[in-house]
């Protein structure tokens, strides 16, 4: 959606024709690290990902002003479930919690003591939830809400839990190989992302 629009807007402003490839998330990270792709969109910051590619930085620190966007994670449960998340009590999750493989929320929740069942995507997690194979699902709020809006069965049986788990900034990562050869362009890409993000037409 918006990330695709951002890439086309980048191409128009910087004078290049983007080639977009769709791949599973872990493959995206691996190909970025190997330099087989130049840019990955979009990723939250994890320290261990810095070996895979570069984030926008200023004075050696992650530059949040040049993020693509911010996004939230939420828990989803069956409507007849008695789970009640208060934002801090993670001990209520005694069963398996589904989450997309490779997403940063997986590591975050494991540190909280949750047992995570990693899958290719949130739609599969929702199917497992309905079948009773998961106690809850952790998902990007945009993705989870989208599936509730577009899938009648999901909407009739699943609901989002409040409050949200966390909100994180998301960035376009650039491969180390591309950055070393095209440092000025790489920095311009991040600068332009910030400009487009704040453009009134893009916000609309």
Q: Give me the torsion for CA of 91, 96, 102, 105, rounded to 10°.
A: -20
0.75 exceeded by the pTM? no
pLDDT in tens, the chain (204 residues): 788 999 999 999 999 999 999 999 999 999 999 999 999 988 999 999 999 999 999 999 999 999 998 889 999 999 999 999 999 999 999 999 999 998 989 999 999 999 999 999 999 999 999 999 999 999 999 899 999 999 999 999 999 999 999 998 999 999 999 999 999 999 999 999 999 999 998 888
Nearest to 116 by CA among 132, 89, 142, 95: 95
Q: Please, are residues 164 and 71 in contact by the beta-carbon 8 Å criterion? A: no
Q: How far is it, in rounded angstroms, from Cα 122 to Cα 139?
A: 6
Transcribe 57-97 into DSSP letters.
Answer: EETTEE-GGG-SEEEEEEEEEETT------SS-GGG--SEE
Q: What is the pLDDT of residues 68-117, one digit of tens each?
A: 988 899 999 999 999 999 999 999 999 999 999 989 899 999 999 999 99
Grouping H, G, I as helix, E, B as strand and the rest as coil, residue 146 is: helix
> What is the pLDDT at residue 201?
87
């Amino acid at each position: 959606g918006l990330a695709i629009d951002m890439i086309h807007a980048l191409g128009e402003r910087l004078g290049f024709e983007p080639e977009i490839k769709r791949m599973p998330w872990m493959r995206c990270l691996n190909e970025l690290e190997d330099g087989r792709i130049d840019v990955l969109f979009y990723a939250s910051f994890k320290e261990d990902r810095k070996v895979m590619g570069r984030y926008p930085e200023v004075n050696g620190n992650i530059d949040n002003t040049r993020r693509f966007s911010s996004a939230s994670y939420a828990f989803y449960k069956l409507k007849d479930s008695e789970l009640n998340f208060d934002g801090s009590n993670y001990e209520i999750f005694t069963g398996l919690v589904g989450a997309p493989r490779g997403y940063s929320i997986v590591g975050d929740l494991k540190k909280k003591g949750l047992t995570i069942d990693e899958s290719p995507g949130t739609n599969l997690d929702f199917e497992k939830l309905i079948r009773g194979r998961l106690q809850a699902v952790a998902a990007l709020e945009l993705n989870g809400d989208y599936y509730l809006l577009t899938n009648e069965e999901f909407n009739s049986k699943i609901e989002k839990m409040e409050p949200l788990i966390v909100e994180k900034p998301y960035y376009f990562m650039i491969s180390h190989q591309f950055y070393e050869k095209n440092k000025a362009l790489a920095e311009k890409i991040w600068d332009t992302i910030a400009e487009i993000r704040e453009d009134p037409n893009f916000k609309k």
